[in-house]
A and B are shown apart, each in its own frame.
Chain A
């Protein structure tokens, strides 16, 4: 039963993802864009977990784990970036 719902859940989550992305395009502040990046990370992880079950491929869960690890690091990298730190002098 749940199996039949799964693909629709995936579609639903993806629609959410696309809707959330509109924020990245519109902004208006940097904070919004970084927030979208965060949303993108979380939602993609959700998407991958759903897909792992739907396709019956448990390996995909490792992809989700790796993705959330790297998303953490990349989001850290964002904050080291010029637009985001007034104290952006040479370290």
Chain B
């Protein structure tokens, strides 16, 4: 783990590189936490709408935090831009997908007949 002593150089000044690293670490851990939260929601929540709610929000926040962390570690603006693009795309995809899934789930609320996929779990 991050040794606090290592962050402070002999002159008593905070080492910027070490600080960046520490921030990246914090972001990474936070990202992992949100992904974990999303998974817990996915596994534990009672119905599809709740799960949808939990998963899309938590996971995208997690991805953002992870991307920020990676951008800090890589340290070049170009990479940061690329990561931002990836995140924005993922956000767009999950927005649209979540919307479609919700619509789909709503149309199926009174269980449609003859849909084998929708049978309750055995």
Contacts and interface: CB of A to CB of B under 8 A. Distances in A.
Given A29-B118, A68-B90, A61 B100 contact: no
A6 B69 CA distance: 11
Contacts, number: 154
Given A31-B52, A42-B63, A72 B93 contact: yes
Interface string A61-91: 1101100110110011001000111100000
Nearest to A4: B1
Given A38-B55, A43-B59, A13 B32 contact: yes
- Interface of chain A, helix or strand or loop or mixed? helix
A64 B52 CA distance: 23
B90 A9 contact: no
Interface residues of A, number: 50
Interface of A: 1-2, 5-6, 9, 12-13, 16, 19-20, 22-23, 26-36, 38-39, 41-43, 45-46, 49-50, 52-53, 58, 61-62, 64-65, 68-69, 71-72, 75-76, 79, 83-86
23 contacts: A1-B2, A1-B6, A1-B21, A2-B73, A9-B32, A12-B32, A19-B39, A20-B42, A23-B43, A29-B48, A30-B118, A31-B104, A33-B117, A35-B55, A38-B93, A41-B90, A46-B62, A52-B70, A53-B74, A64-B86, A65-B89, A68-B90, A72-B89
